[in-house]
Each structure stands twice: as C-alpha cells, then as structure tokens.
Structure 1
Amino acid sequence: MTTRTATTFRPPVMEARRWLDGVAFSADRPLINVSQAAPVDPPPEALRREMARLVMEEPQAHLYGPVLGLPDLRAEIAAQWSVAYGGTVAPEQVAITSGCNEAFCAAIETLTTEGDEVLLPTPWYFNHKMWLDMAGAVAVPLPTGPALLPDADTARGLITPRTRAIALVSPNNPGGVEYPPATIRAFYDLCQQAGIALILDETYRDFHVSPRAPHDLFAQPGWDETLIQLYSFSKAYRLTGHRVGAMVTGTARLSEVEKFLDTVTICPAQLGQFAALWGMQNLGQWLAGERAEVLARRAAIESGFSPLSRKGWKLLGCGAYFAYLEHPFDTPSDQLAPRLVQEAGVLLLPGTMFMPDDDPAGGQQFRIAFANVDADGLRDLIDRLAAFDG
C-alpha cells in the first residue's frame, strides 16, 4: 500500500541543503546560496515597528479570525487589483491563505478528484507537482520549448475529459520568464472554451519588468468563473515566515475553499495579515525600490553572462527572482549540483527537480534564485560557474 505522501518526492530545497553537510567554506570564498527563492532579510524597519505595536496593542492579532481572512485586507486587495489590472474585483472574491502554496492546494481541492488532470508547463514549480501527486491528481507536462513559453494550441491537444485546470506561473518559477499578455489571454480563452479553470500564480508580480498590467483577465466579463489567481506577500514585504498569501476567484469557489482552509489552518495568522495590510497601504515607495533592485540584478546577469556563454552555457530565461541555465556538460545536473557545492562553493538546484523523470532536458539545466545576491556576488557566481570544468 502506498501512502499519499509516498507518491511524491522529497522537498527539493531541503534535499539540496543536505549537500552542505560536512562541507567547509573559507572566509575568502564563502558559499553562494542561490537555491531558494525567499528573501533572507527581515521586513523593513517601519513594518517591523508596526508589527511590534500590533503585538502589544491589537488583541485580534492573537485570536482566531475569519477563515477567509481579514476583511480589511481582502478589501484592500480588491481595490488595488481593480486599479492595477483595469478590472473589477470585489472583496468577497478574495480569500487570504497561509501562503501562496496553501492557496494552490486549496484551489486543487476544489477542482479535482482521484485521477483528474491538471496541465503544468515544464519546467514546473515542484511544489505544484508535489501537491497534485499527494491529492491523487495527475500532473500533465506541457512542454515549453527553448523559450520556456507555453503555447495554448499545444495545451489544447493535451486536454482530455479528465482535465480540470491549467496552472501557469508568471513571472515564472523556475524559468524567470514573464508570459506576454497575449499568451496569458490565449490560455484564459482556451480554459473558458473548455470549461476548465485557469490557475494563474502571480507570486512574483511585484518584480515584473513592465509597470503595466501583465494581463487583462480581470476586465473580462465573468472572469471569476474561469480564473483562479494566486498571490504571495512573502516576497513583496519579506513576510516569508508569517505565511500570508491570497486567492482571487469566484464566490462559489471560495465557499468550497473555506472548507479546506478551516480544516487545515482554521484561519491565516492574524499578525501576518495585519502586517500585509499595513504594507499595502504604506510601503508602495519602498516596494518600488525593491523592484528596482531585483531588476538591476536581473540586468547584471544578462549583461555579465558572456564568461558563461564562451564556455557553452545558455541563459534560457531570466526575470523576477530567477535565472534558468543550460550547462554544456555530459554529466546530468543532479550529479553536478552536489559537486558545485564542494568544488565551486555554489548551491543551486538542478533542472531535474523541475522536470518529469523521463524528460532529459532537466539533466542539462539549473535554476538560480538570485534575489539575495548583489551585483558583486553575481559576478563572482558567474566566474565560479565559468571556471567549473564539469
């Protein structure tokens, strides 16, 4: 008998951290850790001061709250999303979750039963694949090709009577690619025609290269019957440990989501929700600075990639927190990654963690999560990879 958890693989980031066991790094050549897409710095001081005030002065921060989240936070998201996307979002179409991963899990629980299918573009976000495995659903790989862009016509050919959704992540994890508005709209139209859901994970929307809306889906009539948008406050306000995410979709679906959330966490952590609300209302200028810094680091990788290009490496995608690379060696990436820790002092994730087992492309690829590495560190990273002989 196979248990639900035994149907999937071990958490990739935790697996990669085990490669550090017993390895020492010198002061003049410290570890460059580009394995996890999470800010390592705490929230900005102004937000921390507000959180300290909340701890002392806001009794509700310590109590159970509504299962679907703090009403004021739901209303703030609805108002800001309506402006940012040029559409109409109501507070009752917003739910707050304990991180974006929980939002995805909740969405899948409202959509699937045993053997149902969800299309995931490859390379995929591994936690999406893990939850589908444990939920008894089938992750159907949707190849994206050299540009890492999914194609709606290709997806159409993979839809079966068991297909319940297509899940997109843009800006993409792991590829870093930003899906063009026309691509996102094509997938929305396809899902609407097929009577399935479009799950659109926009965890990294705050670090998009364009200041314009990344899509027009919230302006479409009846969008809430097809679209399930997911979001995270972890990256925007460095609230990773407080686990605050969001789902924006129809009220009927949120009634089902409420059942899942009530059973799993009862309610999102109140302190994190108050912090997210304060951040949305007060940290717009600070967040713009964070976005500018991430975009500068993206530019540093793109402009400084030539030492790797000369050695046969390829930059397949770069954006938000990520760069996705193809290496030139015969040895597969899951064997090279532990060696890079020991020989180059670099911890990154192999493409095999983002691909089906039978897809050889994963063996040629690596993901770099660069948001915690400054420009000097990125130059050092590129030099170390260029000096690695495979």
Structure 2
Amino acid sequence: DLSLGNPVIEPPEEFHQELSRWVNNPRAGMHRYMPNAGYPEVRAAVAEHLSSMTGIPFTQNEIVMTCGAAGGINVALKTIVEAGDEVIILAPYFVEYIYYIDNAQALPRIIPTDNQFAPDLKILEENVTSKTRAVLVNSPNNPTGAVYSHNTLKGIGELLSRKEVEYGREIFLISDEVYRRLVYDGVECPYMFQYHPRTIVTTSYSKDLALPGERIGYIAVNPQYEGRDELINGLVFCNRVLGFVNAPALMQHVVRELQDASVDIDEY
C-alpha cells in the first residue's frame, strides 16, 4: 500500500547543487510572477525531455507547470468537466481523487479492477455513459503498485474512441504519473499519449526527486489533440483562478536542469 507516498529519503545531490546555485547567485526578477503556465524555458526543458522519452514532438506550448500533481489534477478537472459530468476512477484508488472530482462539481463513478488490480475493459465499457467526461488512471498505481500493460492501455484508448463516436462528445484520459520512474524488475510503464489523442498527463517531482513538500509538477497535453490550444488556454486560466496562480518560482528554476535526475529508486 503506497498510501500518501511520502518519501523518507533525501533528494539527490544534483538537486542540492542546483538549489545552491540559484540561492547563492540571485538574479533580478527570479522571485517575481511569470506567465501562469510557468517559465517558458522550464516548460521547454520539460517538453524536450518528454519528446526524447516518447518520440512525440512536444513544445513548451503543451506544458503547464503546476503545484504538484494534485494541483494539476484539480486544474485539469476544473478545465474539462461541467457540473453533473461523471469521472471514472478505478478501485482501489488514491484516496483524494473523489474530493478532487467533487471540487469540480462532477460525480465519481467508481468501478472495480480485476484480481491483478488491472482495469477490466468489459466493466469499464459498461460504465462509460453519455455523462462520462473523463477516465482518471494512475499507473504505476497508488495504492496497489500495479503497472498497466500496453494491451490494457491500448484497449482503454480504443474503448474511449468508440464511446466518443457513440455519444458524440469528447472523453478525456487523465493519467496521474507521479510513480512513473518507480518501476522494478524490467517492467515497462508505457506512455499514455500513444493510446488516446485526448490524453492529459499530470505528474510531479515528488517521488523521483523526493520533493513532495516543494509542490512542483506539470501538466502535459497530447500534441496530437487537435483542440490542444483551447485546452491549454483553459488549463492556464484554471491554474490562475483556482488560486494556484503559478507553480513555485524557485522550484521551477531548480528542476529545469534536473529532467533526467532521480533518487536511487532501490532505496524506496
């Protein structure tokens, strides 16, 4: 049970070095407001990293820096759902999800997983309705540790595409990926973007850099989604009006050069 996933190890040395570099060499304006989406150079660094990992050409225009993944999920839900919409979550699920959904005045639709804690595609299909606006997935999963396979994720993407045609509305796939780097024994954790054009990924540096208290993460929107510009505008607006305003300035500066850095995951 990963529970709230509070790392008990310290950040890697690269983090302390980068933090010291910024603290000991202050620059004019480094603590001021920036665009609500985050510093362009930081978003560009994230986009470059995602491009190299996924083979999909991201730009800074598909990235919004956030106050952690929790902030990112709240921003994403507020952007895409209307009151009364349903958001599907798979049980067992991270305990806060139902409250994030409630924050957006949507309704959680909770469905079980199979005996390996993987999504049951038949049950999922039966529960996607004309009110479904999003499916929220978490792989590697909290609390079970399950990693969803390529075939499972491909099946979810195909299912959502069929249901979009059936109901004549967009259905988003929101992927909470804070545990992406915490995989073991050669297990592959596929990137969601390849499975559904309306994919929104939320993540943070809380686990791989052991920085949960710093509240720094980002949202990445699938570049292959034709409505991405409008969606990004909505995400930036909601990031502002929900009161987050922008991700922490100092942490944005620090993580810019740490896209490939990580704690020793064996210590977990």
| TM-score scaled by length of structure 2 | 0.87
Q: How does 1:1-390 map to 2 (within 5 A)?
A: 36-56=4-24, 57-193=26-162, 194=164, 195-209=170-184, 214-215=189-190, 217-219=192-194, 225-249=197-221, 250-263=228-241, 264-280=243-259, 283=261, 287=262, 290-291=264-265, 293-294=266-267, 371=268
Q: Which has the higher helix share?
A: 1
Deviations 1:23-46 (A, max 9, x none): xxxxxxxxxxx8541223342334
How far 1:101 moved relative to its partner? 0.4
Unaligned runs of 5+ in 1: 1-33, 295-370, 372-390
- Secondary structure of the residue aligned to 1:205 is coil
Q: Distance in 2 between matches of 1:60 and 1:142?
A: 48
Deviations 1:332-357 (A, max 9, x none): xxxxxxxxxxxxxxxxxxxxxxxxxx
Q: How many correspondences in the alignment? A: 254
Q: Distance in 1 between matches of 2:87 and 2:44?
A: 30
CA gap of 1:216–1:35, structure 2 versus 1, over 3 A, is closer
CA gap of 1:218–1:133, structure 2 versus 1, over 3 A, is closer
Q: Distance in 1 between matches of 2:155 and 2:183?
A: 20
Counterpart for residue 383 of structure 1: none
8 Å contact 2:3–2:94 — kept in the other structure?
Answer: no
Deviations 1:18-74 (A, max 9, x none): xxxxxxxxxxxxxxxx85412233423342232133124233431111111121221
One-letter amino acid matched to 1:106: V
Q: Distance in 2 between matches of 1:246 and 1:95?
A: 5
How far 1:208 moved relative to its partner? 2.1
How far 1:84 moved relative to its partner? 1.3
Q: CA RMSD in A?
A: 2.2
How far 1:216 moved relative to its partner? 5.4
How far 1:200 moved relative to its partner? 1.0
How far 1:168 moved relative to its partner? 0.4
Deviates more, 1:256-265 or 1:187-196: 187-196
How far 1:162 moved relative to its partner? 0.9
CA gap of 1:60–1:181, structure 2 versus 1, over 3 A, is farther
Counterpart for residue 167 of structure 2: none
Q: Distance in 2 between matches of 1:48 and 1:241?
A: 15
Deviations 1:224-248 (A, max 9, x none): x410111111111122121111111
Unaligned runs of 5+ in 2: 165-169, 222-227
With a CA cutoff of 8 Å and minimum separation of 6, indicate the structure with the bigger relative contact order.
2
8 Å contact 1:237–1:276 — kept in the other structure?
Answer: no
Q: Distance in 2 between matches of 1:253 and 1:210?
A: 37
What percentage of aligned pairs have identical amino acids?
Answer: 26
Q: Which protein shows a greater Rg?
A: 1
One-letter amino acid matched to 1:155: L
Q: Distance in 1 between matches of 2:110 and 2:188?
A: 28
